[in-house]
Amino acid sequence: MNAMPPRTGAQDCGPVTPLRQRGQHEVFCGLTSIIWLHRKVQDAFFLIVGSRTCAHLMQSAAGVMIFAEPRFGTAIIEERDLAGMADLHEELDRVVARLLARRPEIRMLVLVGSCPSEVIKLDLGKAAERLARLHAPATRVLHFSGSGIETTFTQGEDNFLAALARELPAAEAKAPPSLMVAGALPDVVEDQFRRIFDALGIGPVSFLPSRASSGLPPVGPATRVLLAQPYLGEAARALEARGATVLAAPFPLGEEGTTAWLRAAADAFGVAPGRFDAITRAGRRRAREAVGRHRAELEGRRVFLFPDSQLEPSIARFLAREAGAEIVEIGSPYLHRQHLAGEFALLPPGIPFSEGQDVDRQLDRCRAARPDLAVCGMGLANPLEAEGIATKWSIELVFTPVQGYEQAGDLAELFVRPLARRAVLKLGA
């Protein structure tokens, strides 16, 4: 378990003040974001600077041996390093030099800190600056923190995108308006959205992170940003510091969220309402039909969402409004008022919200409520399953393509599967 400190800037969301909890957290740390980020940025290598414990975590989380997956690994800090018996900068330089000699195709090296600098006695920012000078221009070197002391698992992506935002080239002073979609999306989803934006006449459109580090998009005052994920607070601030404007919108989960998300971009670029409706009509219909095939299994089901991925408010909105589920409680590690305002405006009134986590108290509330389904981290799933409560792992919602019209039915099916599994187990008992 990770004892998480309060994060600055947490705010009330909507008309209801959330219950703020400051106890033990039960979440993956930010290192696990590497598992989907390394798949997205195809010429990057993510090098964790940490202990053997971190290496074992990544082995378990990814299901592969470290360095068996070609584009992430661990520079292990030994006891002699922590004791000050070795120069960590020299050790890291040797590891990086050996890695880049073996893998000359790497164009972006990302140093990921597994612990704060006070623990590992290494200033990763300075190390990244030094290594960037050594290996430029062939390889760009960035760094971010994935420390479990400081981050939840989705905040790893947030920190990476914030670091990337600071590296983006500046747009020309007289550049025309452009749209940037921030947040790692599966390639198939990115391609779908790009086709819709093209049909709407919106462009140029870029995605952050891009598939190749050589394709980093420019940013400036004419850049309009759509956040694809609700957990990108640091990335949004970094983009705003570069002059970009973040568009307010619900997130693209389900037909309703996707339509509102696309409409925010259409309004910003002056797309006529009639054209917007014509372009999105077929996608909206397919999404409603796909979700409708699962509504009978979800309608009236009582769902408790533990704080884990920061997707919880968006998932709750989708389940309540499109699938007919009853939301017992929404928990999220952090609530960002500005980014989630559109989601909270759509949620049914009276749903309890909690910001932060106190595992024991939330487990008590869940057990008292006896929901049909709990959306939670992997560490809570087995105990709840043993007590007769079906569970859905929050981390699946990050790994699985769920955004957009074409994935709306798949999103609904993710919540049907654990209910169907429990029904089969009961029949077989």
Q: What is the pLDDT of residue 4?
A: 36
* pLDDT tens-digit series, residues 293-337: 999 999 999 999 999 889 999 999 999 999 999 999 999 988 888
Q: Compute φ and ψ for 331, nearest 5 degrees.
A: -115, 145
pLDDT at 217 over 90: yes
The answer to whether 23 and 357 are in contact (CB under 8 A) is yes
Q: What is the pLDDT of residue 33?
A: 87
pLDDT band at 149, cuts 50/70/90?
low
DSSP single-letter state for residue 298: H
pLDDT band at 25, cuts 50/70/90?
low
When mean pLDDT is compared across 168-182, 269-283, 329-343, the lowest value belongs to 329-343
Q: What is the pLDDT of residue 116?
A: 59
pLDDT band at 7, cuts 50/70/90?
very low
pLDDT band at 83, cuts 50/70/90?
very low
Q: What radius of gyration do the chain's Cα atoms show?
A: 22
For the segment 150-163, the average pLDDT, to the nearest whole number, is 88
Greater model confidence, 272 or 399 = 272
pLDDT at 15 over 50: no
pLDDT band at 49, cuts 50/70/90?
confident
Q: Which residues of 102-122 are buried (b: 16+ CB within 10 A; e: fewer)?
A: eeeebbbbbbbbbbeeeebeb
Consecutive H or E run containing 257:
helix 254-268
Q: What is the pLDDT of residue 172?
A: 92
* pLDDT tens-digit series, residues 367-400: 999 999 999 988 899 999 999 999 999 988 988 9
* pLDDT tens-digit series, residues 175-216: 999 999 999 999 999 999 999 999 999 999 999 999 998 889
Q: What is the pLDDT of residue 150?
A: 64
CB count in 10 Å sphere of residue 278: 12
